[in-house]
Amino acid sequence: MSKIKAISCHKILNSRGDWTIETHVELDDGAVGIQAIPEGASKGEREAVSLPVDKSVHIVSTVIDDAIRGENPEDQEGIDRMLIEMDGTANKHHFGGNSLLSVSLAVASAVSNSKGIELYEYLSAQFYKKPFSKASLQFPTPVFNVLNGGKHAHNGLSFQEFMVIPSRAYSIDKAIEIGTNIYHSLKTKLIEEHLDVDVGDEGGFAPNNLTVPKALEFLKAAASEQYKPGKDVFFGMDVAAESFYSEGHYKIREENLELNDDKLIEYYEKLFKKFEIIYLEDPFYERDYQAWEAVYKKLGNNCMIVGDDLVVTNTKYLKKAIERKMINAVIVKPNQVGTLTETFDFVRMAQEAKMDIILSHRSGDTAEDTFIADLAVAVGAQFIKSGAPVRGERVAKYNRLLEILAINNPED
């Protein structure tokens, strides 16, 4: 059995031109696992803390390297428990969630390389605690964020993400084709209306002078060019409501609205009457629990009510959301919690509660990192968010899914 031989870490740039870390874990049989770490801009208040890059590089290359060297890399849980205990804080602020996660994920990659198996196969075996079987292979449906606002753009649009979601009936390659066709139709429509087609952090267009209903109208018009909304394709929004919440009110400035909880639910209901919306993420501020309960009650029957900032990939907050019936779907972002084992625990709890799972990138991401594509396949996630089908760091994840498809369906 191989052992961990050395861990090193250096800084690299992410898609926003900010520094992040990349960690290399080398095993004594020569196999290497490499992991770059993404970074959010619209973070939940209770996410694991990211340490400044120079500190992280130092911690990973010295303290963590000393502690983990010589360990059995197949004992993922044991290694993750060591990392968690060494850090010793609830929000990982001592060593940094970014430092811990880079080691945790790179260890898994190193083992899959050492065994000569695909990463998703190894992750699946770790997650389900039984060997991967090709018969159970299931691809996530991409949720394409094609119009950007909120903290990912500076265009005065309150809601953060407007998404097109192909029907789950389509294969992964067909779903990617649909998303791409709609993206291109949308670009043409925006140009026709003399709106900007510059893109935001996740590759969606970010024109000025949009309102939420107008954004959805553009989406529906673009989708309708080739597809039938409500049958082939659906719509979704990541409201990221925290970014326009203040003292009990939600300020949708572009429409001069200042809404309380009830009024914001009415606002959503109106949109639901006009548009085929099946996905609503972070519709309220993460501590506005009563509003979450109310929106789930009103709209949760026919729509995914998705917790991101609400639950931050942490079983502690998910448990509460389950007990109080606030959501029926969860975002999974490994860097919100800091280790693979905790991410697995979170996915298991959500699956037991029959929730849909959406694996997600971050707005600051790297083309080097496609881990979420493998992880989505490994746990059988229903959906994946990797932005618009443009920008290298976004398409890298979609391209990895296409690669997994090709590996499993060779043409010859």
Q: Which residues contribute to the site for ligand PGA (CB under 6 A)?
A: 40-43, 238, 240, 308, 360, 362-363
Residue 238: CB minimum distance to ligand PGA, A: 5
* Residue 40 touches which of ligand PGA, Zn ion, none (Cβ within 5-8 Å per kind): ligand PGA
Q: Answer yes or no: is 58 a known binding residue.
A: no
Helix (H) or strand (E) holding 22: strand 19-27
From the list Zn ion, ligand PGA, none, pick the one residue 362 interacts with, judged by a Cβ distance below 5 to 8 Å according to partner type.
ligand PGA
In whole angstroms, what separates CA 232 from the centre of its chain?
23
Separation CA 232–CA 230 (nearest Å): 6
Among residues 153 and 186, whose Cβ is nearest to ligand PGA?
153
Q: Spell out the alpha helix ranges (H) of 116-255.
A: 119-128, 172-192, 212-224
State in angstroms the smallest separation of the CB of 124 from Zn ion. 26
As annotated, the active-site residues are: 202, 333
Nearer to ligand PGA, 113 or 335 (CB): 335
Phi-psi category of residue 349: left, alpha or beta, with phi > 0 → left and psi -120 to 50 → alpha: alpha
Nearest alpha-carbon partner for 281 in 327, 226, 224 = 327
Ramachandran category for residue 14: left, alpha or beta (phi over 0 → left; psi -120 to 50 → alpha):
beta
For ligand PGA, give the closer residue by CB, 218 or 279: 279
Dist. CA 288–CA 72, nearest whole Å: 44
Report the C-alpha dihedral over residues 76, 79, 82, 86, rounded to 10 degrees: -120
The option from Zn ion, ligand PGA, none interacting with 43 (CB < 5 to 8 A, set by class) reads: ligand PGA
363 is in an annotated binding site: yes
287 assigned to a ligand binding site: no
The most distant pair of C-alpha atoms in the chain lies apart, rounded to whole Å, by 64
Structure token digits, residue 31: 């196999």
Q: Which is nearer to ligand PGA, 36 or 111 (CB)?
A: 36
251 annotated to a ligand binding site: no
31 contacts 113 by C-beta, under 8 angstroms: yes
- Amino acid type, 27: L
Picked from ligand PGA, Zn ion, none, the partner binding residue 336 (CB below 5 to 8 A depending on kind) is none
Min dist CB 76 to ligand PGA, Å, is 25
394 is in an annotated binding site: no
- CB-based closest residue to ligand PGA: 40
Closest residue to Zn ion in the complex (CB): 308
Nearer Cβ to ligand PGA, position 254 or 393? 393
In the complex, the smallest distance separating the C-beta of residue 66 from ligand PGA, rounded to whole angstroms, is 32
CB 29 within 8 A of CB 5: no
Interacting residues toward Zn ion by CB under 5 A: 238, 281, 308
Which residue, among 214, 187, 223, has the nearest Cα to 203 in the 3D structure?
A: 187
Question: What φ, ψ does residue 364 adopt, rounded to 5°?
Answer: -100, 110
Nearer to Zn ion, 87 or 365 (CB): 365
Q: How far is the CB of 209 from ligand PGA (least distance, A)?
A: 23
CA angle 73, 74, 77 (to 5 degrees): 95
User: Does 324 carry a binding-site annotation?
Assistant: no
**Contact between residue 9 and residue 22 where contact means Cβ atoms under 8 Å apart:** yes
Residue 363 interacting partner from ligand PGA, Zn ion, none (CB closer than 5 to 8 Å by kind): ligand PGA
User: Are 402 and 173 contacting, i.e. CB atoms less than 8 angstroms apart?
Assistant: yes
CB of 308 to Zn ion, least distance (A): 3
Q: Determine if residue 238 is labeled as part of a ligand binding site.
A: yes
Shortest approach of ligand PGA to residue 299 CB, angstroms?
Answer: 19
> With CB cut-offs between 5 and 8 Å by kind, which of Zn ion, ligand PGA, none does residue 394 bind?
none
The H helix count followed by the E strand count for the chain is: 14, 14
- Is 352 annotated for ligand binding? no
Give the 3-state secondary structure of residue 51: coil
Cα–Cα distance for residue pair 271/235, rounded to 1 Å: 11
User: What residues form the annotated binding site for Mg(2+)?
Assistant: 238, 281, 308
User: What residues form the annotated binding site for substrate?
Assistant: 152, 161, 281, 308, 360-363, 385
User: What residues form the annotated binding site?
Assistant: 152, 160-161, 238, 281, 308, 333, 360-363, 385
